[in-house]
Amino acid sequence: MVDALVMPGGGYGPTTGMLLYTGDVAERRGATVHRHEWTEGFPDHREPVIETWVHRQITPVLDRLPGTPLLIGKSLGTNGAALANERALPAIWLTPLLIFPWVVRALEGATAPFLLVGGTGDPTWDPGVARRLTPHVLEFDGADHGLYLPGPLAASIDALKDLVVEADRFLEEVAWPG
């Protein structure tokens, strides 16, 4: 049995858009997908205390999962990167908060591979930092924090398709599940 844990963003639930489909990629690879909902209001996401809050939310879920689950986190959920390090878990981080030093430090300490996905129109994305942290980067020129691209909506739908393809390619490359 293999598991994947989906961690939402602050205003982006675990069954919406990119989280839904990225979780589905793991499910089609044989995973049981656990879609976490935050159980209480979260503190200011711009303060380091948010990392501790996310850990309190996620640790009990991870403790129930056997083996090496895949973590999939959006924005606020990327504060779970230190947990990924502690447990050597592979991850897919969607619109990670690369402007916060505690998130970057956690990603720098990663012992398992991870994919970073973001857009150059997102103020929390830093392309240079992303490429320094991992060879696994999917970047959309002009995409905002929701991975919406300027112009016709069809372009954003194409970006979502590209995300699904890249997530599957990443999991194949890192042999997950392995």
Task: Give residue-wise pLDDT tens across range 45-92.
Answer: 888 999 999 999 999 999 999 999 999 999 999 999 999 999 999 999
Contact yes or no for 17/83 (Cβ under 8 A): no
Contact yes or no for 1/65 (Cβ under 8 A): no
Q: Is residue 28 part of a domain?
A: yes
Count of domains observed in the chain: 1
pLDDT band at 161 (very low <50, low <70, confident <90, very high): very high
Q: Is residue 69 part of a domain?
A: yes
Q: Is residue 158 part of a domain?
A: yes
Question: What CATH number is attached to the domain comprising 155?
Answer: 3.40.50.1820
Q: Is residue 178 part of a domain?
A: no
Q: Kindly state the percentage of the chain with pLDDT values over 90.
A: 88
* Rg of the chain over all Cα atoms, to the nearest angstrom: 15
**Cβ count within 10 A of residue 84:** 27
pLDDT of residue 1: 76
Instruction: Compute the mean pLDDT over every residue in the chain, rounded to the nearest whole number.
Output: 95
pLDDT of residue 11: 87
Contact yes or no for 145/95 (Cβ under 8 A): yes
User: What single-letter DSSP state applies at residue 148?
Assistant: P
Q: Is 69 helix (H, G, I), strand (E, B) or coil?
A: coil
Q: Is residue 55 part of a domain?
A: yes
- Residues in Cβ contact with 16 at an 8 Å cutoff, skipping those fewer than 6 apart: 8
- Residues in Cβ contact with 51 at an 8 Å cutoff, skipping those fewer than 6 apart: 79, 82, 102, 103, 106
- The boundaries of the domain holding residue 30 are 2-173
Which segment of 6-10, 12-16, 71-75, 126-130 scores lowest on mean pLDDT?
12-16
Number of helical (H) and strand (E) elements in the chain, helices listed first: 6, 6
